[in-house]
Chains A and B, each alone.
Chain A
Amino acid sequence: AQSVTQPDIHITVSEGASLELRCNYSYGATPYLFWYVQSPGQGLQLLLKYFSGDTLVQGIKGFEAEFKRSQSSFNLRKPSVHWSDAAEYFCAVATTFSGGYNKLIFGAGTRLAVHP
């Protein structure tokens, strides 16, 4: 069965430091992968997606992610974190139903705290 694992429940970094959030997936075929960010009490915002092609994907707010098939990973990175990046981050893989419908399988999320 398809699944997504985010090993880190909680991460704290200092403002200006670099960031890497880990994501491992289990999926038989070429996956569609996503990173979403959620501020408290808000909806999810799409940061970036990977469907195919270049394995290094650029997203919004200065984030990037690298797809590594050999490691079944899709880690999110940012070179310099801002206090406004404090939020919950979800990695997701799209699994396809018969009929071509996609269902997002989410990881448990990683809560990012940023120290001033």
Chain B
Amino acid sequence: DTEVTQTPKHLVMGMTNKKSLKCEQHMGHRAMYWYKQKAKKPPELMFVYSYEKLSINESVPSRFSPECPNSSLLNLHLHALQPEDSALYLCASSQDPRGEQYFGPGTRLTVT
């Protein structure tokens, strides 16, 4: 089973809202990732968690706040977003920080 799940599938939020994206995997993977993908572009790495600790932050604005409550869950808290933050947000996981990454279906975020 190589399934990564993400909720919600779609999210529309205003610039003053606070919302969260959720990602879950039950494969025992110890590394989890958040990516942002704009239309017709490849995914761009945002954050890497390894063994539940934030390992990499790719200079992401503080309006995006990741959280890893346990080894199976990864959240992305959103606050005061801008319209240009509208994108497909993808979660991925890997067995360890050097393994191949398996992606979830994504959350389509629209900021109005």
Contact = CB atoms under 8 A, between A and B. Distances in A.
Interface of A: 32, 34, 36, 41-46, 49, 90, 94, 96-97, 99-104, 106-109
A43 to B, nearest CB: 4
A90 B56 contact: no
Contacts of A94: 98
B98 A96 contact: yes
A99 B100 contact: no
Interface string B1-39: 010101000000000000000000000000100000000
A85 B22 CA distance: 29
A102 B100 CA distance: 9
18 contacts: A32-B98, A42-B105, A43-B4, A43-B104, A46-B2, A46-B100, A90-B42, A99-B97, A101-B31, A101-B50, A101-B55, A101-B56, A101-B97, A102-B101, A106-B42, A107-B42, A108-B42, A109-B41
Contacts, number: 61
B103 A41 contact: no
A65 to B, nearest CB: 14
Interface size class on chain B is 20 to 34
Contacts of B103: 36, 43-46
Interface in B72-90: 88, 90
Interface in B86-112: 88, 90, 92, 94, 97-106, 108
B74 to A, nearest CB: 14
A99 B41 CA distance: 28
